[in-house]
Amino acid sequence: MIRELRKMRMRLNIYYTLMLVLFISLFVGIAYFNVHYTNKMTTDRDLKVKAALVRDLNILPEFDDKPPNNGNIPLDEEYIDPLFKYILRNETMDITQSTIQNQALFQESQEFARQSWLDQEERWDIISLQGTDYRIFSTPFHDNEENGVVQTYCNLTMINKFISKFTNLLIATGVASIVVAALLGWWLAGRAMMPVRHAWQRQREFIADVSHELRTPLTVVQSNLDVALADQDSSIKDNIDWLQNAYSETENMGKLINNLLFIARIDAREIKFKHSEFNLSDLLTQLVSRFEPLFRSKNLIFTAAIAPEVLMHSDEVLIRQMVSIFLDNASKYTLAGGTVSLKMGCIQNVIEISVTDSGIGIDNSEKEKIFRRFYRIDKARSRKQGGTGLGLAIAAWIASEHRGQIQVFSKLGEGSAFKVHFPNSTTFNDPQTEIKYIGFMGGRLR
């Protein structure tokens, strides 16, 4: 399963990275096209505007000084600015005026000028000379005295350098972003897989715990039945002890299976809450009547103090189950002659339900662990008492789902107190009145 989770994590990261690569590639492509297109349009516009100045106004800007030499521009070029230059040709394509002295460029551009004159159309061309690109614009002109072609052109070295640097920056940024995003994606995929990993881990532990919990009672049942069947001449009465042991274990297995089904429904989120307003005082009173015989049979003193007419808005069945779990635990871990008490009251719109016993108590190091599934402080005693190790886990879940908080007060060898606080709107007939139930000891009314 771990290997499958790793493969799934890898696949998620690969899909995420591929999507990011496509997105960044699209972004880089659009950005490159936009910069390239913008520079091209700007260059062409400026070339056309300057050609119009020469053609329509018949003026050529004067210049005195040469700008500093640039290694990317041939030394025999003289120009009016770092980028734009001009050539004026007559009808025979002879040069009448120019701002440069570059014979190679003159020769290469002559054919473009002739074609523009023959077609009487503007044209754009690119000339490459010694590794340097030039953008050249040719347009025919007609004057009263002169006819010919105006050519303006610019050295594309600086523009190409800018586009190249910009493209390299985009690519470097894109690659760095992809690497960072891939690492981040791996981490995020791991985070996303954590619930799955934890669920699988819980499932594995759950199956292991169930197998362990069922193995012991099944072994006990089989052992007792083997003894009972060993002597075929004996009667049921002779084997009553062995059969009773087997029956007790089947009862324990029944409780365990019911709790397991409830836990499974919790994990699958299949438990539907039926919230309604009910009388909590009446519910606890019914539980007192139900548990009195159990405490009496175990020679325990049971008392209750329940505030009357307390209304609670929650799931009545689950609240009953939670309180029953606390009372059942108290009966199992309190020795004969001990005391168990159930109290309920409301303080500042908070309902408090407490179950206190004088049992074996809980060590401080165990308080947080007792709400774990299948956890038992004394496994031998718990199994003997019919405990499954799931009751307190279920009670904690019920309290949590009702926004309740459980507090555990205990001292080893002196007893424990479980207090649950619920926020609630309650009503009372008389807040000072308590219903007290007289406990029983050894079957005699105290």
Residues 187 and 62: their CA atoms lie apart, in Å, by: 65
pLDDT at site 428:
40
pLDDT at site 57:
57
pLDDT at site 181:
84
Q: What share of the chain is helix, strand, coil (3-state, %, to 5)?
A: 50, 20, 25
pLDDT at site 442:
37
Instruction: Give the DSSP H/E element, type plus range, for residue 133.
Output: strand 132-142
Q: Which domains does the chain have, with CATH numbers?
A: 2-62+76-163 (3.30.450.20), 275-445 (3.30.565.10)
Specify burial of residue 281 (Cβ count, 10 A radius: 0-12, 13-18, 19+). Answer: buried
Amino acid at 413: G
pLDDT at site 283:
93
Helices (H), 58-156: 103-119
Cα–Cα separations (whole angstroms), residue 264 to 84, 174, 212, 255, 322 = 81, 48, 17, 14, 17
Amino acid at 371: F
> What confidence tens digit (pLDDT) does each residue in 169-206 have?
988 988 898 888 888 888 887 777 777 777 777 777 77
Running along the chain, 446 residues long, what does each successive block of 10 average in pLDDT? 73 83 88 87 85 66 40 40 68 79 79 86 85 85 80 84 88 88 82 76 72 71 81 77 80 76 76 86 92 89 91 89 90 90 89 92 82 66 57 88 90 90 58 40 36
Model pTM score: 0.51
Amino acid at 327: L
Residues paired with 357 in a beta bridge: 340, 416
pLDDT at site 78:
40
Closest CA to 284 of 347, 343, 350, 348: 343
pLDDT at site 103:
78
Residues 356 and 302: their CA atoms lie apart, in Å, by: 10
Q: In b/e form, how buried is each residue of 429-441, taking b as 16+ CB within 10 angstroms? A: eeeeeeeebebbb
pLDDT at site 73:
40
pLDDT at site 97:
78
pLDDT at site 244:
81
Residues 95 and 208: their CA atoms lie apart, in Å, by: 97
pLDDT at site 79:
38
Q: Quote the tokens at residue 236.
A: 């049921």
Q: In b/e form, how buried is each residue of 104-141, taking b as 16+ CB within 10 angstroms? A: ebbebbbebbeebbeeeeebebebeeeebebbbbbbbb
| Cβ count near 392 (within 10 Å) | 23
> What confidence tens digit (pLDDT) does each residue in 358-389 have?
988 888 878 878 888 777 665 544 455 555 67
